[in-house]
Structure 1
Amino acid sequence: MLYLTGPLWVVELVPPKGRSILAGIIGLFGVVGYILAAYVGVGFFYYKGSGSAQWRAPLALGCFPPVFFLAICPWLPESPRWLLAQDRNDEAWDIVRTLHTSTDDPLHDYATAEFYQMTKQHELEANVSSSWVEVFRRPSYRKRAAIVFMLPIILYSTGNLVITTYAASIVAGIGYNPGQSLNLLAGTYLAAIVGNLISLTYVDKVPRNIIMSIGTIVCSIVLSIETALVAVFLGTTNTDSLAAAAAFLFLFLFTFNLFIEGPSYYYASEVFPTHLLHSQPPVARDCSHGL
């Protein structure tokens, strides 16, 4: 549920100017979660205490993030667009004004202008059907739905899920022991987060289709080289080639997060019209889960 509603909530809440950057931060903190989980695993791998703490403690630590999220939920702002759709205009205005509060704009001129646009947009969309049927009725909407449907299939067919899921097995097969494998796996996530951070610096300066096209091509090249190295040198004593195979795991996740991770969260939201925005997260995420 959070996987579907989180990106939609961010897109509806943030101002258009910083939408892609703030939506890209979702992927950034997703990698932060991977890093924390990986290094918790590394730490408890070396834990030598008795009993079952080696596997119980990581599971217990995994309870803290959702508990923290539940604790702060009452203070999270609701989407102003959703409040407008429920005729709760005063609450929507309070949130917009609070989000744009600045000492440089004491009269809230920017917030007033944005809220006016949101109100007029809602009035326009109130007379337009927002049902799922509308997505398939109009040719232009069908085209957008096809783009959203194919986007995760194309992006996640680059192999990132396979690399993420089986990286430990791949590294172990290359010849590293379990402790080294866990450390290398955690290191790949550090490389990934560097890619995320760099992507935030150019995401609004380069066209989305160019970013994703470059990412798909580069990921395909890196994955092809990784596959060749594993196929030829796995089980041999050629340490240089095996080390290169491990290095290309780092390079792949860095490349994927540099070009592809961010657009996978916000591009679909930018393609769909506002009144059908609720339809795109299930379409896009169901496709990625189906992979």
Structure 2
Amino acid sequence: MVATTTYNLTIVLFVALSALTYGYAFSVFSTSIGQPAFYEYFNLEQEGPGAAHTASILGVLNSLFSAGAAFGAISMAWLPDWIGRKYTIVTAASISLVGGALVTGSVNIPMMIVMRFIHGIGVGQCITITPIYLSEVAPPSRRGFLTGQNAVALVFGYLLSAWVGYGTYFSSNGTFAWRFPLALSCLFPLILLAGSPWVPESPRWLIWHDRVDKAWMIVEKLHHDATDPTQRMAKEEFFQMRTQIDFDRTQDLSMSYMFKTPSLRRRVFLGCGVLLGSQACGALVINNYSVVLYQGLGMTGSMPLLMYALYIVVGMIFNIVSSLIIDRVGRRTLFLVGWTSTAITLSFETALVAKFAGTDNRGGNAAAVFFLFLFVTMYGSCIDGTAYVYCAEVFPTMYRAKGMALGLFTYYSASIAFLTPAATAIDNIGCVTRNPIPRRLG
């Protein structure tokens, strides 16, 4: 068994900043729309005759971000194989940095819509390249755990955005309250760019491009065993890489071939289906509109932002649990438990929201909040990180980048269908207009 070295773990955790970049950027907007000053600055109405227009604007802002992420994801079908995994990470971080800065500086809704799309491209690239890279630098025996750090970092980004949004709610400067959380999205790609010179290229990509000596130096450092002077396990891993890549060179690596070949086509359907299934659970809709959902369940002031932050804490905890048990329990078992439990949980949640949203029934509203937290417990434990790991693993090495690109393109394309009507739907059932966040003084 190849050891997990400190150096290997350090590289994995640092590159996972790319997933954190995505997680923070994707989640932070849900806290900005929880700030009263956001609506004041853009002349949007939370209640009254303009509320429907506001809901449609929020739907466009969220769906265009997902559309950008879909374009970013599909670009990973060729970019990592062309310029390498390392420089793909640099490219994704650069676009995320520029996009985040321009979103922060938006002065009107049309500008924000366009900049959210550009920002989405960058973070869509970030979240697609991360599991590809992590799976290629991890030893096979620990691949589930190390690749699972992708989901842990992603949810940690959710966590940071939630608590930053909650903290800035109390600022006397309304513009700072919604702009600062957006501005903070630039920090993580900036750190990633600053540290990128020390990130090694994927040894598999180097072998493919006949840089065998450089690839061995990286493998030896990643999987070095201090108790074995011959480095037998690292050499066996390296031999397996070279043998696999020698075979890969004889294959047709085009995307069209993936759909023509039954075994590869089945893998495409599995990878895309798993990520589509993780999206169809409704996790992104709940995440992006948590604040307005909590408002509809009778919470006012800063309480919806606080509950959203606690919701993310629970998700973070159970994503860590998932990364620890995934190699023992298995991917399929986690999926079966996760999809069954989230379906049951959302059935109860839907019934409770339909009956009690906008009412003064504290018991019914509390039960609805409980099922939201139960949902994220099961989703984080069984589906969130497992889907990324499974999609990265189900494809042979030479098709991994294309497979992940197709899978996440499917994921974000589906999110457009879910997120675009969600704000209007929530408005129609009363969650937005019945309990708007009160305006602060000062």
TM-score by length of 1: 0.96
Matched, 1:73 2:182: no
Matched, 1:260 2:383: yes
Partner of 1:82: 205
**What are the superposed Cα offsets for residues 248-272 of structure 1, whole Å, 9 maximum, x if unpaired?**
1111111101000122111122221
Matched, 1:115 2:242: no
Match of 1:172 among 278, 295, 298: 295
Match of 1:148 among 255, 266, 271: 271
Task: Count residues in correspondence.
Answer: 290
Query: CA 1:54–1:166 in structure 2 vs 1: closer, same or farther (change >3 Å)?
Result: closer
What stretches of structure 1 of length at least 5 have no aligned partner?
A: none
The farther-off stretch of 89-98 and 142-151 is: 142-151
CA distance in 2, matches of 1:56, 1:209: 42
Partner of 2:354: 231
CA distance in 2, matches of 1:277, 1:63: 29
Q: Helix, strand or coil for the counterpart of 1:47? A: coil
* Contact 2:275 2:391 (8 Å CA) reproduced: no
Partner of 2:159: 35
Give 2:137's aligned amino acid.
L
Structure 1 residues 14-53: aligned runs within 5 Å: 14-48=138-172, 50=173, 52-53=175-176
Query: CA 1:158–1:126 in structure 2 vs 1: closer, same or farther (change >3 Å)?
Result: same
Matched, 1:245 2:368: yes
The farther-off stretch of 99-108 and 250-259 is: 99-108
What stretches of structure 2 of length at least 5 have no aligned partner?
A: 1-124, 415-442
Partner of 2:20: none
* Contact 2:319 2:381 (8 Å CA) reproduced: yes
Ranges of 4+ aligned residues in structure 1 off by more than 4 Å: none
The farther-off stretch of 192-201 and 215-224 is: 192-201
Give 1:224's aligned amino acid.
S
Q: 1:179 Cα deviation (Å)?
A: 0.1
CA distance in 2, matches of 1:237, 1:51: 30
Query: CA 1:170–1:51 in structure 2 vs 1: closer, same or farther (change >3 Å)?
Result: closer
CA distance in 1, matches of 2:182, 2:360: 37
Matched, 1:218 2:341: yes
TM-score by length of 2: 0.64
Matched, 1:288 2:411: yes
Partner of 2:395: 272
* Contact 1:193 1:254 (8 Å CA) reproduced: no
CA distance in 1, matches of 2:214, 2:340: 46
CA distance in 2, matches of 1:204, 1:43: 37
Query: CA 1:100–1:184 in structure 2 vs 1: closer, same or farther (change >3 Å)?
Result: same
Give 2:296's aligned amino acid.
G
Q: 1:201 Cα deviation (Å)?
A: 2.6
Give 1:11's aligned amino acid.
S
Give 1:75's aligned amino acid.
W
* Contact 2:208 2:245 (8 Å CA) reproduced: yes
Partner of 1:124: 247
* Contact 1:83 1:92 (8 Å CA) reproduced: yes
* Contact 1:38 1:185 (8 Å CA) reproduced: yes
Matched, 1:208 2:331: yes
* Contact 2:275 2:388 (8 Å CA) reproduced: no
CA distance in 1, matches of 2:183, 2:243: 48
* Contact 2:272 2:391 (8 Å CA) reproduced: no
* Contact 1:81 1:118 (8 Å CA) reproduced: yes
